[in-house]
């Protein structure tokens, strides 16, 4: 990745001209950043291999949970999100909440357009496979509140905007997920004469627990770290010394999460390659439509690059953990709906890391781009 990406995503450098060449950590992170796509693909392969090669591994991992929340995945996401959320300048959040164009666009794209697009693609590509179709619709309803933070950071998006938008998504997820599930899986198919609808067995309490674990805990930890850190060591020391030390753990947590996630479902994915391909095609179209369409929207309404990138990644990402949990709880672990949920991250992870590179390429010629403040982005 570019030096600017290293700066924002991992905190290994303050910028291309200020990186301390003698810093061993910086050299290590530069290598990590440069081959990030390779590490992610390798983590996927390792996870799939472990899940396939070790009998019962997925059962062991799936049993380590509380209230339907996988503790290994929760641990990985916490390690991944904490350094990024510790970098957020919480005293600047009012500049995001005051951006009505950004807020309104995010709500419309995530809760009106996104589910509708997935519903349409599921019926277009899988008219003869109702279980997979239902699983895809569930994926479309689960808006991203966790991993999108790392994609946004890698793409030099606006950290403060990402924190606000995922918090907004989390609130709407608790309130709207069940309602939209009823609308798209039960009511709308009946209205359109598409057949008998299906019901979701998910409570607002379970969705709220998902939000608390995957967003609330790392958000509170990041906020308290910045408040206490700045008070004890000062803003300059906090940003220039402390944040670079914890920055690398964002990517370590990401790789750990990917390994665990794919180890959980390795046997399922590798034993049904043709079904996986059928599910993958509408997902690829979905991610492309949502990301490129939202990026174009951001530019059309005059947003700077950093907020445009944030808007695009928060629109394209999905809460895979919630989608899988809902599918398994409602239809069973061996159901086609659960397989669709599992295939979601299999496609989302490599596609969104590719879109990070696309986003960075566009950043260099984005006329309204706002360059990162290297004194702040050093973490």
φ/ψ of 156, rounded to 5, equals 60, 35
Confidence check: pLDDT of 363 > 90: no
Distance separating alpha carbons of residues 103 and 83, to the nearest angstrom: 24
Least confident of 47-61, 186-200, 278-292, 352-366: 186-200
Distance separating alpha carbons of residues 138 and 130, to the nearest angstrom: 12
Torsion sign over Cα 332, 290, 298, 176: negative
- Of 18, 76, 24, 80, the C-alpha closest to 239 is 18
Arithmetic mean of pLDDT over the chain: 80
Distance separating alpha carbons of residues 149 and 170, to the nearest angstrom: 13
Confidence check: pLDDT of 140 > 90: yes
**In the prediction, which pLDDT does 150 show?**
87
**In the prediction, which pLDDT does 177 show?**
85
The topology under which CATH files domain 3-377 is: Na+/H+ antiporter like fold (1.20.1530)
**In the prediction, which pLDDT does 196 show?**
64
**In the prediction, which pLDDT does 198 show?**
65
Distance separating alpha carbons of residues 8 and 1, to the nearest angstrom: 11
Confidence check: pLDDT of 371 > 90: no
**Token duo for residue 334:** 């061996």
Least confident of 41-45, 76-80, 220-224, 330-334: 330-334
Confidence check: pLDDT of 25 > 60: no
- pTM of the shown model: 0.77
Q: 226: which residues sit within 8 A by CB, 6+ positions away?
A: 86, 87, 88, 89, 90, 238
Q: What angle do CA 88, 112, 164 make, to 5 degrees?
A: 10
φ/ψ of 65, rounded to 5, equals -150, 160
292, burial (CB in 10 Å: exposed 0-12, middle 13-18, buried 19+):
middle
**In the prediction, which pLDDT does 203 show?**
63
């Amino acid at each position: 990745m570019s030096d600017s990406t290293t700066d924002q995503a991992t905190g290994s450098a303050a910028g291309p001209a200020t990186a301390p060449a003698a810093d061993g950590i910086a050299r290590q992170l530069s290598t990590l950043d440069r081959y990030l796509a390779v590490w992610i693909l390798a983590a996927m392969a390792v996870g799939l291999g472990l899940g396939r090669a070790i009998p019962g591994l997925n059962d062991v991992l799936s049993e380590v949970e509380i209230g339907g929340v996988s503790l290994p995945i929760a641990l990985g996401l916490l390690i991944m999100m904490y350094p990024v959320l510790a970098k957020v300048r919480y005293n600047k959040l009012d500049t995001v909440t005051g951006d009505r164009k950004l807020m309104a666009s995010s709500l419309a794209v995530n809760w009106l357009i996104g589910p509708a697009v997935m519903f349409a693609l599921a019926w277009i590509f899988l008219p003869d496979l109702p279980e997979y179709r239902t699983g895809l619709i569930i994926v479309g309803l689960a808006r991203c509140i966790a991993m999108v933070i790392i994609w946004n950071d890698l793409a030099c998006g606006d950290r403060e905007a990402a924190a606000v938008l995922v918090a907004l998504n989390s609130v709407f997820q608790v309130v709207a997920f069940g309602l939209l599930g009823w609308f798209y899986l039960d009511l709308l198919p009946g209205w359109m004469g598409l057949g008998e609808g299906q019901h979701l067995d998910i409570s607002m309490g379970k969705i709220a627990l998902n939000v608390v674990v995957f967003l609330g805990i790392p958000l509170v930890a990041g906020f308290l770290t910045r408040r206490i850190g700045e008070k004890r060591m000062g803003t300059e020391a906090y940003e220039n010394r402390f944040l670079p030390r914890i920055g690398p753990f964002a990517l370590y947590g990401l790789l750990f999460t990917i390994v665990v996630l794919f180890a959980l479902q390795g046997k399922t994915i590798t034993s049904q390659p043709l079904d996986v391909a059928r599910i993958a095609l509408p997902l690829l179209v979905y991610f492309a439509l949502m990301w490129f369409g939202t990026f174009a929207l951001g530019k059309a309404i005059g947003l700077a690059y950093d907020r445009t990138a944030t808007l695009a990644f928060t629109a394209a990402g999905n809460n895979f953990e919630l989608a899988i949990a809902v599918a398994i709880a409602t239809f069973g672990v061996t159901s086609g709906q659960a397989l669709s949920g599992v295939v979601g991250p299999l496609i989302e992870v490599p596609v969104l890391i590719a879109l990070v590179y696309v986003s960075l390429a566009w950043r260099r010629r984005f006329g309204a781009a706002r360059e990162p403040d290297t004194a702040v982005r050093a973490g």
